[in-house]
Structure formats: C-alpha cells, structure tokens
Amino acid sequence: MENHIQKILCDSAKNVIESVFEIDFRTGKYTTVFTSATQTSPYGEQSWNAFADRFAGNYSVSGRKDELERALSLENIKMALSADGKYRVYGGKIPGKEQKGYKELIFTSSENPEAAILSIIDFSRIADYYHKTIRHMKDEFRHDNITGTYNRDYYETNLKNLRMNGGVAIIDIDDFKIFNDTYGHNTGDLALSETSRIIRENLSKNDMLIRYGGDEFLIIMPDVSVDNLENTLERIRTAISSVRHRSLGNMRLSVSVGGVIENGGVLENAVYRADRVMYLAKNHKNKVMTERRLAKIPTEITEENTEKQLVLIVDDSEFNRELLKEMLIGTYALAEASSGRQCLRMLDKYGTKISAVLLDIIMPEMNGFEVLSQMKEKGYLEDIPVIMITADDSEENLKKAFNMGVSDYIHRPFDANVVKRRIQNIAFLYAKQRRMLSMLAEQINSREKNNRIMIDILSNVVGCINSESIPHIQNLRKITIMLLERLNLKTDKYGLSWQDCRNISVASSLHDIGKVLIDPAILNKPGKLTAKEYEIMKEHAVLGEKILHRGELASFQNEPLLKIAIQICRYHHERYDGKGYPDGLRGDDIPLAAQVVGIADVYDALVNDRSYKKAIPGETALEMISRGDCGCFNPILIECLKDIKEKLTLDIYG
C-alpha cells in the first residue's frame, strides 16, 4: 500500500513540477535532473547566470527585472539556504497577451554544502489541471449514464428559464413499463439507449437532447420551422419503429411524440405544451402530434359524457349520419366525420378512446376501403373495431371488407335494434380482448416471479451447505445476463432470443445443485483438495443433472428452462479445448448456456474470497482468464467479459 501511495504522489508531482535542477555554487553551473514532457530543459552543465537572466526577463513584472535578478543571484540563494534550508522565489506577469504563466522556484539544501536543488513549479499548469478536472466533473454530473444525453438536472439548472425560438418536442417510449416489468431493467436500459441513439442520429449539431424523465426525452431545436420540426420527428418515429433488436423480446420499439414551435417565450412553457400534446399522441401510440396538426383535427363530439363508449360515424351523407346519431344518442358518446380524411384525423386525435367506427364504404375522394388500408398501416385495426355501412352486401364487397379487417357490417336501410346490438357486441368483444391481454401479461409476470422464487429457494439450499454459494449465485445470474446481452450485440451466430437469455440467466442459479450430494467436509475444506477429494468434487456436475431428471421433473424434460438447467449442471466445467469435465467436450459442442455460465462462474470465484484462496482484482482475473490460467474459454466470450468489466464493477462489485 505504501509503495502504491508513493507512486501516486510521485505521478502527481510530475504533473505539476516543470523541472528539477542541481546547482553547483562553486562553478556557477546547473544540471537538469528532471524535466516534464512539456519542457525542453537541456541536460548537461549550463550557466546559472544565463538562466537567471532569461527567467527575470520572462517572468518579472514590468520595471522590476533587477529585483528578480538579485533574488536569483547565487549569493542570495546560498545565504538564504544556510539560514533556513529552503528558499522560494516567485515570478509571473500580469495577465495579458504577453502572459507566460506563474512560476514558483523552490530551492532546498543538498547533502553537498556547495550545491542546492531547485524545483520549478508552473502554477498555470496546476490551474489548467484543476480547471479540466472541474469541467470533467461538471460534464459527468450533467449527463445521463445510460443514454449519454444531458440529464433533467442540467435542464432544470441551465435551460428551463431561457427564452428561445424554434422547436421543442417530448418523446415518450411506448409501453416502457412493460419492458422493465416483463423483460427486466437491462432490457429497459437497452430500449432507452437504442431510442437515444436513433434520436441523436437524426438531430443536427445545434440541437440538444435531454433525458427528461424515466422514459421521456426532450429535444430542443433552435431556429427550425414547423415543417422541419415535423419532418425530423417523423424520421425519428419511423427509425425507432423499425428497430428489431432480439434483446427487446417480441415487442416492437415505438414512441409517442409531441412537438411545438416557440417564438421567443420561456423554454419551460414550451416544454409544458409539448408534454400535453405528447399525451394526445399517446392515445394511439407510435404517433407524432404537433400543435399545427392538432389544430386541423375536428373536435365536434355530440355527446360529452366521457364515461360512455365513443363511437365515430363516418359517412359523406349528412342524412345518414343524423339517422345513426338519432339511434345511438343517449347510449354512446358520438363523433362524426363527413369524409375518409376527416375520419383519419379523428382517429389521430382520439385513438383508442374510440370504441367503434361505423364506416361508409362508398364515399368520394377517399372511399371506405382506402380508409381501412390507412387504418391497417397505422395499426388502428388491432385496437379499434370497424363496422362497415353498406347498401351493397354483395359477396365480393363483403369478402374484400372482411379481408381488410372489418369486424362486422350494417346494411341500409338501418334497423335501430340491429345497429345497437352490432355495436354493443363488437365493442364489448374488443374491450374484453384488451382486458384478457392485460390479464395474460399479469399472469406471465406472476408466473415468472414464482419461478424465480422457487429457484432462489433451491439455490439457497445449496448455499446452506456451501456458505460461499448464496452471494455467488446472485452474482452469477447478473454476470450471465450481462454476457448474453453483450454477446447478442456482438454476433448473430448463436441466434439467442430474449427468452433464451432470461432462461439461461435464471437456470444458472442451479449450476451447482449437485453439490447437495457432496460430502460437506470436502465441499467446505479450507485449502487445496487432494486428488481423490477433487475427483469426488467433480461428480457434482453429473449429480446435478441426475437431480433435475428425478421424480416429477421427469414429466417436464421438454420445458426450455429445465432443458437449459440440465445442460448447465452437466457441462459448465467443460472447457473450449476439450480439457474440462465430465465429458471432455470441445468448442461449440459445449452448449452455449454452459459456456457462458462456466466463464461467469470462474470470474466470480476469482474476484471473491473462497475457503481455499483470497480474492484478486478484477483486472488480474481477466488477465488470468485470457491467458488460459483457469482453463480455455470461447474467445468471443472472453471479449464479452472484457467489454462489460466496467459494468461488472459498477453493478456488482462496486
């Protein structure tokens, strides 16, 4: 430890000491002992008087060069050292164009009474160092760790009260809570970083991106027109919705966006308006809404009771609209559109607040089939049922309508009871479907939670027998998911889905379950095992596999989680060169799950205390694994382990 501290102090001194000289009073010469990389002090004997003259010329205040020369005379230096053992001289010009910095010359006595040591310290270098350090610290504090964008604190401290001209937008990731709750926070972080990356790629150098909330980003675009704002936001939305990253599971990444133009007002007010517009866009997801677009959307709703289901009537005939309204008023909240384009604008505004659309097929400019095509393209048909209004119920028309996603049809002339019943049935069916999907998501979450609880119980059983296992199992699960996420980013070779990664991470907890059948005296023996004891210990791999084949588990052998757990138990001590156990498998004949858990197992064992060894630093552990000191591992997994070393330190071993 002392040597380490001395090295730090020595390195720090080199950062601030410009040069060190040894001065010989008898010869009037000095020799350079040390000079920093930024200096060119000559080695060999040099004239002290020449140095003193140059220094006084460069670093004396105007009109006081003679004073500085006298202070640097060998006689004064020798006299001061004999009295005190240390002597300081300062030089530096008043700030200005000719400033060369501020210097401190520290003279100290040498073992030789006819010599002295001079250390030259450049204050300007010290100031630069601290200025840079402070700037770096400020930069860290104002940036978000996950996305690399500015953070909310930076906005609150530096931006919100500024006046601006230009565009302001709020971007919210759709279903972000599901990413976190269903797929885990690592997947949520990936959704954030992917969204941030795409937004930055579509902004200019003058624009600014801020992580405004947990799943929200704020964009500030100075001096842009409303056309440029809308075009940029649409590019961002389209690019994000095209992301198909395996680690995001089966979910499509999408965003809801609200944008406004501010002309000289306070930024905070513009952000508030953009946030309100974004919430309107969120009614139907994957949508860009701006104040200009919002102004073009009709707002007429004939029934304001928001507790009632909202039905949109689309027909170019005012008579037909009035007829349908008369039938439905009092039962439903009603909105109406006289054309296909107006219908799409209403859908853009109200989204899934609309419980059903009554759509006329025969309309000028944009007919009902064209409306259906647009609704399908925008994803509305998945959530909003359409009931076709037609006087032509020919087989061809009906077949085309149903193929395009129509849920039902109403034939003219209208029968009030039929119209109400059709709407009621379809709206109820879609509402029930949405509830069922919500319940299914909750059940999946609950089932996964129960699985994790049971596996934690089993892993803690192992921990009761082998005291090192409880924290080791927790660490192993975290390292495994980090390695798999990095592997997915690095290569498509293994074709891992999100569920594969989750199963491997969860199943890693059972890797040493076979140890419950190993003699505890061997399991917890301090120091090195004998050859016979080591052979007994190695049996835990096969014993673990047997445990997972026993009893009731035999009927679940085709379940992905159990299959992966069996692979991990038997093969996590196999090595890439074929020198592992129990089967001596080589290369990718070893199941990938076992390869990943194997390298994670070794790394965590190295960096933590064990009954037979002390912990070693993470950097040393990586070097040992890379050299093959702990067995041979898949080279790409070694690369992944190196790539995540900082995250390991921060999230697990910090």
Q: What is the per-residue pLDDT across 578-633, written as a single tens digit (0 to 9) for each? A: 999 999 999 999 999 999 999 999 999 999 887 677 889 999 999 999 999 999 99
What pLDDT is recorded for position 230? 94
Using the 8-state DSSP alphabet, how is residue 293 labeled? H
- Taking the C-alpha atoms of residue 227 and residue 230, their distance in angstroms, rounded to an integer, is 5
The reply to whether CATH 3.40.50.2300 applies to domain 310-435 is yes
Report H helices in 296-392: 318-328, 340-350, 368-378
Q: Mean pLDDT throughout 208-217?
A: 91
pLDDT value at 83 more than 90? no
The reply to whether CATH 3.40.1350.10 applies to domain 143-295 is no
15-128 folds as Beta-Lactamase (3.30.450)
| CA neighbours closer than 13 Å in the CB half-sphere of residue 121 | 13
pLDDT value at 98 more than 50? no
| 20-63 tens-digit pLDDT | 899 999 999 999 988 875 666 677 889 999 999 988 888 887 77
- Taking the C-alpha atoms of residue 558 and residue 431, their distance in angstroms, rounded to an integer, is 36
| 469-512 tens-digit pLDDT | 667 888 898 899 999 988 988 888 888 887 788 889 888 888 88
Please list the residue range(s) of the chain that carry CATH number 3.30.70.270.
143-295
Q: Do 579 and 631 contact (CB within 8 A), yes or no?
A: yes
Q: Mean pLDDT throughout 522-545?
A: 88
pLDDT value at 445 more than 70? no
What pLDDT is recorded for position 556? 73
E strands present in 203-330: 208-211, 216-222, 255-266, 287-290, 310-314
What pLDDT is recorded for position 298? 58
H or E segment at 120? strand 115-122
pLDDT top residue among 404 and 585: 585
pLDDT top residue among 351 and 75: 75
Q: Mean pLDDT throughout 61-72?
A: 85
What pLDDT is recorded for position 135? 56
Percentage above 70 pLDDT, the chain: 80
Of 347, 389, 339, nearest in space to 366 by CA: 339
| 105-124 tens-digit pLDDT | 999 998 888 999 998 887 76
Q: Positive or negative, the Cα torsion across 88, 89, 95, 101?
A: negative
- Tell me the range of 146-150, 236-240, 527-531 where mean pLDDT is highest: 236-240
Q: Mean pLDDT throughout 76-82?
A: 91
pLDDT value at 300 more than 60? no
What pLDDT is recorded for position 97? 42
pLDDT band for 12, please (50, 70, 90 cuts). Answer: very low
pLDDT top residue among 470 and 6: 470
Superfamily of domain 466-651: Hypothetical protein af1432 (1.10.3210.10)
Q: Mean pLDDT throughout 407-425?
A: 77
Mean pLDDT is lowest, of 333-337, 366-370, 391-395, for 391-395
User: To the nearest whole number, what is the mean pLDDT of the chain?
Assistant: 81
pLDDT value at 11 more than 50? no
pLDDT top residue among 139 and 267: 267
What pLDDT is recorded for position 170? 96
pTM over 0.85: no
- Taking the C-alpha atoms of residue 362 and residue 532, their distance in angstroms, rounded to an integer, is 87
pLDDT band for 448, please (50, 70, 90 cuts). Answer: low
Q: How do beta strands 163-173 and 216-222 pair?
A: antiparallel
- Tell me the range of 37-46, 244-253, 314-323 where mean pLDDT is highest: 314-323
E strands present in 344-485: 354-360, 386-390, 408-411
